[in-house]
């Protein structure tokens, strides 16, 4: 599955267009390598996503084309969530 679609379906990022924009600005890594929005995501992959002052590291647990809101959290597990202090 495409990275931008996975981020939307899993509800890590609400809109696919926003997921595409973040990925194309080199702010997402898949298994430690820079990823574009069209990169393929597979089960067991580790995603590192850099939001403004927050970094989220998740492990892909499952992949589905569509999911309900309360089932979306079953698609990934959070490994680490860190915050940078703003100056």
Which DSSP state fits 37? T
3-state secondary structure of 60: strand
Is 87 a residue whose pLDDT tops 80? no
76: closest CA among 36, 49, 39, 47? 47
The 10s digit of each residue's pLDDT in 26-59 is: 999 999 999 999 999 999 999 999 998 999 999 9
Burial class (CB in 10 A: 0-12, 13-18, 19+), 85: exposed
Query: Which tokens in the block code for residue 36?
Result: 């574009």
Domains of the chain, each with CATH number or no CATH: 3-83 (3.10.290.10)
């Amino acid at each position: 599955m495409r990275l931008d679609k996975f981020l939307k379906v899993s509800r890590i990022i609400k809109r696919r267009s926003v997921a595409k924009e973040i990925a194309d600005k080199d702010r997402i890594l898949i298994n430690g390598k820079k990823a574009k929005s069209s990169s393929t995501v597979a089960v067991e992959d580790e995603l590192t996503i850099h939001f403004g002052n927050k970094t989220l590291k998740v492990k892909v647990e499952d992949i589905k084309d569509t999911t309900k809101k309360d089932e979306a959290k079953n698609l990934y597990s959070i490994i680490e969530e860190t915050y940078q202090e703003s100056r």
